[in-house]
Chain A
Amino acid sequence: MTRRILNHKILGPKKHHIVPFIWNGRTYYGAEGESITAALLANDIRTLRYHESDGAPRGLYCNIGHCSECRVTVDGRRNVRACLTPLQKNMHVDRQGALPHLVKGGGANDSL
């Protein structure tokens, strides 16, 4: 389980303004202005994407925009880096999945 660190020994308390957002069609709650990765993790959601090629689950990795592992669809826009995107009220965030392999020999699933 993950949790919000509301009281920190050294940094003290932190207040959040909690707003609703939509993840894969369901309503969740997160802190307005925090990154989408943080909002999802606080809801114990780690799988942000299924890999385009083999469908394996993927989550946040570097959390500061370098690795692009956390790409999601935000309000209909694909491949947005969740870690660089602040959460807004009623934002629609969707998980992306495996893509069809149109060319034989072009992807890992062809051998299955």
Chain B
Amino acid sequence: MTHYDVIIVGAGPAGMSAANILKDKKSVLIVDEYYHYGGRLLGQLYEESKDSWWNGMDVARRLHDGLDEKITLRLETSVFNVDRNDGAFTVYTNKGNFTSDYLIVATGAKENSYPLPGWELPGVMTVGAAQVLTNFHRVAPGDAGVIIGINPLSMVIGMELGYADIDVRKICLPAENKFNKVTPRDALETLMGLGTSAPSKFLSISADIGSRMSMLHGLALKLFPSKGIKALGLPISIKEKVVKINGAEKVESVTTVKTRADGSVIKGTEQDIKCDFVCISDGLSPVSEITSLFNLKHAYLESLGGYVPIHSEQMETEIDKLYVAGNITGIENAKVAILQGEMAAHHLLGNEDAVKITLKRIGDERKNAKVKFHKDLDQARDKLQLYWLAK
């Protein structure tokens, strides 16, 4: 069994940035299940400000180029168990087992879905699947699609489909059922809450909506046109819900209904929209299976995306020499993930000055974040710190 100073699980922004800090001082193994490094940087593409683009594939390449031959990167390597005996971690994978003194878990996030009749048909996929196909594989998910779910991720990816000349026919909500409870009010809050620091394109959405209607939600909801609005070239409809996805062997159409401001269905408004693919998007949640194996305390914080292992601002966990970084600690953008990876590495190396500087940079990045995944993120981070101090 090969022994390393540090094993990092996940070759995304957090894992690779940690490795870049550690590479000259420690022996490092990074494992990742995918066949390409980069994690969910692969596919990211948006305009941060005029003519300045965030291209996740380029960012991944730069992080990878920095690693040289100094670290070992094992792709197509799935971790199925971890444990710790006599102070050493053992990581069990489909390519053999490895041991280490330190473990950094940077497993990222997974997408949540809205279950709907017909969602198992070929051609229905998560919005992230469509993103990876379009921007990384460069294979169109279809000619014309409908996106179910209104959130920052679904709108960014809706725009990305447009850059590849793929027709987005509608972005709307899922019908209410046992699992789906999202209302027009939730969607409006998302649109309005994108914030003043959002990318220029986003800003135009909120400004567009804001100029047309009052900030008072009740009124804005009533005034929101029932046929939806066109913003960023996307047909956004907060008072329209998909009730089912239709097709024999694959997606052929979706059936929508119009709703009132409170989300109640207006009878007789059923309409079929033809499409050959459907994206479902209910946001992201942290992938915390590996930290769960250690029986660490996890806290459920909705604005962080779900269960996150309790951790310090320096990325420590309750177990000595076990660190977390990136979206496993809560859903934020890739720049925060990169800084969190660096933070874990600096703390691991005992570099106090770098820890202080990185802490400030994380705070600044959160303040200036171009894409905010949740409006209550700061409160959730504060709460998590209290949990950590009280552990």
A window 1-47: CB within 8 A of B: 1-6, 8-11, 14, 33-35, 37-38, 41-42, 46-47
Inter-subunit contact B138/A4 (CB<8 Å) = yes
Is the C-beta of B66 less than 8 angstroms from some C-beta in chain A? no
Q: How far is the CA of A26 from the CA of B251 in the complex (A)?
A: 24
In angstroms, how far is the closest chain A Cβ from the Cβ of B135?
A: 7
Please name all residues of chain A whose beta carbon is closer than 8 Å to the beta carbon of B121 when the two chains form the complex. Answer: 57, 59
Q: Which of B81-89, B125-133, B222-230 contacts A (4 or more CB under 8 A)?
A: B125-133
Residues of A within 8 A of B (CB): 1-6, 8-11, 14, 33-35, 37-38, 41-42, 46-48, 56-66, 84-86
| Nearest-neighbor residue (CB-CB) of A34 within chain B | B137
Q: List, sorted by A's number, 20 A–B pairs whose CB atoms are closer than 8 Å.
A: A2-B140, A2-B141, A2-B142, A3-B139, A4-B139, A35-B35, A35-B137, A38-B137, A46-B122, A47-B250, A57-B122, A58-B122, A61-B126, A61-B129, A63-B128, A64-B40, A66-B110, A66-B111, A66-B287, A84-B34
B106 to chain A, nearest CB (A): 15
B109 to chain A minimum Cβ distance, whole angstroms, is 10
- Shortest Cβ distance from residue B348 to the other chain A in the assembled complex, whole angstroms: 27
CB distance from A80 to the nearest CB of B (A): 11
CB <8 Å contact, B139 and A47? no
Chain B contacts with A in 32-68, Cβ cutoff 8 A: 33-35, 40, 45, 53, 55, 57
Within the assembled complex, what's the spacing in Å between the Cα atoms of A110 and B142?
Answer: 36
CA distance A60 to B280 in the complex (A): 13
- A84 and B110 contact, Cβ closer than 8 Å, known pairs A9-B163, A35-B137, A63-B125: no
B132 to chain A: which residues have CB within 8 Å? 63-64
State A47–B122 Cα separation when bound (angstroms).
6
A55 to chain B, nearest CB (A): 12
A62 and B111 within 8 A (CB): yes
Q: Given the interface contacts A14-B138, A46-B250, A57-B121, does A63 sit within 8 Å of B143 by beta carbon?
A: no
Q: Is the CB of B133 within 8 A of A63?
A: yes
List the B side residues contacting A84 at CB < 8 Å. 33-35, 76
CB <8 Å contact, A8 and B250? no
A65 touches B163 (CB 8 A): no
Distance between B15 CB and nearest chain A CB, rounded to angstroms? 15
Q: How far is the CB of A30 from chain B (nearest CB, A)?
A: 9
Main secondary structure of the interface of A (DSSP, over half): loop
A10 touches B76 (CB 8 A): no
Other-chain contact of B125, A8, A35, A60 (Cβ < 8 Å): A60
**Residues A3 and B140 in contact, CB atoms below 8 Å apart:** yes
> Which one, B45, B123, B138, B249, contacts A10 given CB within 8 A?
B45
> Is A5 within 8 A of B110, CB to CB?
no
Residues of A within 8 A of B249 (CB): 47, 57
Inside 8 A of A42's CB, which chain B residues have their CB? 139
A47: chain B residues at CB < 8 Å are 122, 249-250
For residue B35, which residue of chain A has the nearest CB?
A86
Shortest C-beta distance, A95 to chain B (Å), equals: 11
Asked whether B34 lies within 8 Å of A2 as measured between CB atoms, the reply is no
Report chain A residues within 8 Å CB of B33: 65, 84
- B354 CB to nearest A CB, Å: 32
B207 at the interface (CB under 8 A from A): no
Among A1, A46, A85, the one with the most B-chain Cβ atoms within 10 Å of its Cβ is A46
Distance in Å: Cβ of A47 to nearest Cβ of chain B = 5
Q: Report Cα–Cα, A86/B234, bound state, in Å.
A: 33
Q: Is B164 an interface position by the 8 A CB rule?
A: yes
Asked whether A48 lies within 8 Å of B122 as measured between CB atoms, the reply is yes
Task: Report the bound CA distance from A42 to B140 in whole Å.
Answer: 8
How far is it, in angstroms, between the C-alpha of A110 and the C-alpha of B53 when the chains are bound?
55
Chain B residues near A2: list those with CB within 8 A: 139-143
Shortest A85–chain B CB gap in Å is: 7
Is B139 in contact with A46, judged by CB distance below 8 angstroms? no
Question: Within the complex, what minimum Cβ distance (angstroms) separates B107 from chain A?
Answer: 11
Residue of B nearest to A31 (CB): B137
Residues of A within 8 A of B250 (CB): 46-47, 57, 59
Contact (Cβ within 8 A) B133 A59: no
Of chain B, the residue at the smallest CB distance from A62 is B126
In the complex, how many angstroms separate the beta carbon of B157 from the nearest chain A beta carbon? 12
B149-176 interface mask toward A, CB cutoff 8 Å, 1 = contact, 0 = none? 0000000000000011100000000000
User: Please, how many angstroms separate the alpha-carbon atoms of A42 and B134 in the complex?
Assistant: 11
**Pair B128/A64 contact, Cβ less than 8 Å:** yes
Contact indicator B143/A1 (Cβ below 8 Å) = yes
